[in-house]
Amino acid sequence: MTTDRLIVVTGATGRQGGATARRLLAAGRPVRALVRDTGAPAAKALERAGAELVRGDFDDSRGLPAALEGAAALFAVPPVAFGPTGSDAEREFARGRALTDAAAAVGVEHVVFTGVASTPGRPGGSEEKKRVEDYLRERIRSVTVLRPVRFMSNYLGSTPMGLDGISGGVHRHVFPRDEPVQIIAVEDIAEFAALAFDQPDRFAGRSLELAGDAPTPAEAVAAINEVTGAAVRYEQITHAEAAALHPEIARVRDRWAAGSRWHADIEALRVIHPGLRTLTDWLAESGAALLRKRLLHTA
């Protein structure tokens, strides 16, 4: 794909979409950022960096074809949908289907779809993500699937379900403290997306499980403490605590306790992308400064 052809980035004010849009803009690629609010600070920052902004809503698909018109490629991050008992698979698939249909209607040639890392017995990470992957492959000629594990930037804040981040000097999660847990920098998701857009023939049809490091939770907080001067400790939440937060969190904890693990081949990924970040790299590059600011703010 030539470097002057337009790429539309969805989720452009989020972590994966934002990192990908910035990476493509830095390389001189024309980017159209699909956002819900063109006046949002993150959207305006992308516009100043050179992105074209266009409003789009996955739950009102009528405007999606016009938002994608003229694009050669698409970075697709259909928003996750949650209901009272956990993930809303039907709504999330409907969003992915609407985006796919719009891309097919206007002749988008290549889609890079980012989903969730697989575990044994759960290809594609979740039912809704796998359904979107399969539908994309039915409708779009060239598809690359990225399946990232947990983000390093999750240490900076809580998930929508109230887990992750650091609160009161404690990082809490479902994982045992002394077992490795794969993690990835969102900047590296952007690097793999950029590679796929630069070399579509090489990456068409491929699914890449993405991780950059695998520290234990205890090792991770020790690394954070070393670079921030904080005194963060790790706690694994119990099943009852997980259930009290959200049924979906309890299900994730139970699957992990039963041996379900992410399985990205980090060394093989490093051959494709030699600059793949470890946790130490991410902390040195940006994470430590952001964590110091957050920990100071919440102290």
Quick check: is 281 in a domain?
Answer: no
pLDDT reported for residue 276: 98
- DSSP letter string over 50-81? TPEEEE--TTSGGGHHHHHTT-SEEEE-PPP-
pLDDT reported for residue 71: 97
Would you say 122 and 260 are in contact if contact means Cβ atoms under 8 Å apart? yes
pLDDT reported for residue 1: 54
Quick check: is 244 in a domain?
Answer: no
Quick check: is 258 in a domain?
Answer: no
Amino acid at residue number 240 = A
Predicted confidence (pLDDT) per residue in 203-222, tens digit: 999 999 999 999 999 999 99
How far is C-alpha 216 from the geometric centre of its chain's CA atoms? 21
pLDDT reported for residue 158: 64
Q: What is the C-alpha R_g of the chain?
A: 19
The dihedral built from the CA positions of residue 163, 164, 165 and 169, taken in this order, carries a sign that is positive
Of 75, 79, 66, the closest CA to residue 7 belongs to: 75
How far is C-alpha 65 from the geometric centre of its chain's CA atoms? 24
pLDDT reported for residue 60: 85
pLDDT reported for residue 81: 67
Of 120, 181, 195, 174, the closest CA to residue 149 belongs to: 181
Residue 244 and residue 283: Cα distance in Å, rounded?
32
Cβ-proximal residues to 108 (8 Å cutoff; 6+ apart), any chain: 8, 68, 71, 72, 73, 74, 140
How many Cβ atoms from other residues are within 10 Å of residue 187's Cβ? 23
Of 73, 102, 77, the closest CA to residue 6 belongs to: 73
Number of C-alpha atoms within 13 angstroms, CB side, residue 73? 31
Quick check: is 269 in a domain?
Answer: yes
pLDDT reported for residue 159: 60
Would you say 229 and 149 are in contact if contact means Cβ atoms under 8 Å apart? no
CATH of the domain at 41: 3.40.50.720
CA angle, residues 257, 280, 235, in degrees to nearest 5: 35
Query: CA 204 → CA 33, 37, 111, distances in Å?
Result: 23, 32, 9
Question: Residue 147 in 3-state DSSP?
Answer: strand
Quick check: is 116 in a domain?
Answer: yes
As a whole number, the mean pLDDT across the chain is 92
Predicted confidence (pLDDT) per residue in 41-92, tens digit: 999 999 999 999 999 888 888 999 999 999 999 999 977 766 666 567 788 8
Quick check: is 104 in a domain?
Answer: yes
Residue 141 and residue 266: Cα distance in Å, rounded?
28
Structural domains in the chain (count): 1
Quick check: is 297 in a domain?
Answer: no
Quick check: is 166 in a domain?
Answer: no
pLDDT per position in the chain (299 positions), as tens?
Answer: 567 899 999 999 999 999 999 999 999 999 999 999 999 999 999 999 999 999 988 888 899 999 999 999 999 997 776 666 656 778 888 999 999 999 999 999 999 999 999 998 888 888 788 999 999 999 999 999 999 999 999 999 866 556 889 988 999 999 999 999 999 999 999 999 999 999 999 999 999 999 999 999 999 999 999 999 999 999 999 999 999 988 888 989 999 999 999 999 999 999 999 999 999 999 999 999 999 988 876 55
DSSP run (H or E) holding 288: helix 288-298
- Per the structure, the complete domain to which residue 115 belongs is given by 7-149+186-210+263-276
